[in-house]
Chain A
Amino acid sequence: MHQWTAYFLLLTAPAAAQVSYQDIQKGPAQDWLTYAGSYGAWRYSPLKQITVNNARNLTAQWVYHVPNARGLRASPIVYKGVMYVTNTNSIYALDARTGRLIWQWLDTRANKQGVNRGAAILGDRVFFTSTDNYLNALDRQTGVLLFSRKFADADSGITSTSAPLIAGNKVIVGSAGGDSGMRGFLAALSPETGDEIWRTYTVPAKGEPGSESWSGLIEWGGGATWLSGAFDPSTDTLYWTTGNPWPDFAGQPRQGDNLYTCSLIAVDLATGKMKWHFQFTPHDTHDWDAQSWPVLIDTEWEGKPRKLVVHANRNGFFYVLDRVSGQFLHATQLIDKVTWAKGIDANGRPIAVPGQDPTPEGNWVCPSVKGATNWMGQSYNPITGLLYVLTLEQCGLYTSSSKTPEPMKNFAGGGATEEGGQVILRAIDPKTGKRAWEYPMTGLGRMWTGTVSTAGGVVFTGDDDGHMLALNAKTGAHLWHFNMGELLTASPITYEAGGKQYVAIASASAIFSFGLFEPAEPMIPPKVIFTK
């Protein structure tokens, strides 16, 4: 076989197609290039092979069992017929038409284990993070490792779970670990080397502006950024939500608003400077991270065009803000049962009901610790003009602990349990917060699946019984369902390969891909010759 060596005397750099920043900016078409589909975080696709009329003909096209997966959180990305999915410290490249594995890479050196929500792609590189805060860059076609660079110290309570976001020529990574004490941040890294370009903390250092909102524990304040954010290329601004203050359920040692936890922050892409912030839940004591990505919509507001950012929050309210100034415009109740606040005042601050904090014997508060919605978040369809939000009508018992808070010891300052509850998918008008339709579910009351909607007029989501669903985006009418046999904990995407539209979603342990039924074509197999 020595002729092989001869062929390589000219080392050719693969001159293949590259994903450009502009490609991501265009939003999904055949490909699905970023976690939330587009920079506006719409999770909307212009594909329309699958429509309201034919969705009932959907069938499973393939299944890929991710080795050893137990609770996949990843939303796949797809480029040129290849799908990239992640699990704990691992990434898999699959043939998006057949589900066959092309390559895999496991970070056997990682010394922490945690969930992973997905990959990012730029140029000929795919990126994902290991739990112990390494950014890994791999060649998209062959899985060859290009670099594995540390961006944060796992010994300071920080782990990494979110899909990186590509913006300009930067890889934006977040931070997790806010339930055990850590200092949240957002960082921009170089896609070529993994070098840090800037880092912006979500909790100020002692003495910095905002630090006066902490009576104590500011060093471990939390404000994790454990989900990908949104981005406005016209102003080069990142929009990111932040997690709970720590200890989650004990407010006494950290009196004050606890900036910038449970907030939305607008960050300048070039410098990392915070342009503005808006805090949804000042001094949170119920673990209501502001997670789920914000959605960017340009629309008419009181007669004038306006750039908005909307957000369905875990605390039970739905918010509309001006995304240029950060000005609060409007809030409505997202779910029916909210007991901790009477509403949101003209400045966007909750009108708190006294006596809602966790107590030693337990305090019954709505929504529950899982929140009115959670990280699976929302999707927006520009044709129907509706926002699709999975909501949970549930209350829970919040207990406090008087133990001295110890960071990085799994101490949350108390705990919470919940009972019963119902998951309801709601289509809401983002301008008014009014509900257009509802799709109630009757399963276990656990909701961890997001939505994707299409120009074909279909919303894809999962229910709390392990079914994949297709609904009419305009009316919420049921079109199709498929029993995946496991609790779903990830959000669907849609893509096209070989002229066919697919919808893919991770179950707890596998990736499923669906498409319209087509009778099998007769196949003439090739002549196969084995040579010595």
Chain B
Amino acid sequence: MSVAIQREVEQVDVFIMGKRYQVPKGLTILKALEYAGYRLVRGVGCRAGFCGACATVYRKEGDFRLRVGLACQTVIEDRMYLTQIPFYPAVKKTYDIEQLRPDADTILRLYPEVTRCLQCNTCRKVCPQDLDVMRYIAAAARGDIAKAADLSFDCLQCGLCTSRCPAEISHYNVATLARRLYGRHLAPPAPHLTARIRELTEGQFDKEVAQMRALSPDQLQTLYAERDIEPEELVPVSKKDED
């Protein structure tokens, strides 16, 4: 698929755990590590910004700021100082989701440290998904489970928030609890699903299934070619608007 185009690739310097390497410009941090010769076992998973395995801390020369990002989604810059955080210990409580109530009590009982939040907002600043982490923790602490679930939905569980939190909160595990509470106890079960499961247990499709099983391959193919396709309904995909 590629049309060969020869070009000189500009090289940049990166410092991997303090050691200098020259790598081609434009690579992601992940690919730069590999280019430099590191066969990664830790700190890599999906390679596409979905699994949160590749949390990375870096500094740029001449800048006091400590920056963070996903190695698979961040492009290197000249004279970057890199290291990965392949693992960061976090608190994960165990529970029976059935038995829990979706309220502040539950959150405070399982993760009481949420009340230690200093509102420094570091968690939000480091989140590679740009989530409002501090606000979802606040929502969880006051029992607004729906808001905590919604605001934390896109969390990849990379753990960068947890690594930087002065109050030592394991944000992403609080978020998981909030989402499961919401999904289990607050969102109504789908009524059409209940109906379909009843139909299935009552054997309402048995006859149709038997008929379809009896069709010859040719009959099946004809039926397929002639099946009607439900038109696409062009309404906005609705989702509750939060704020």
Please say whether chains A and B are actual partners in one complex.
Answer: no
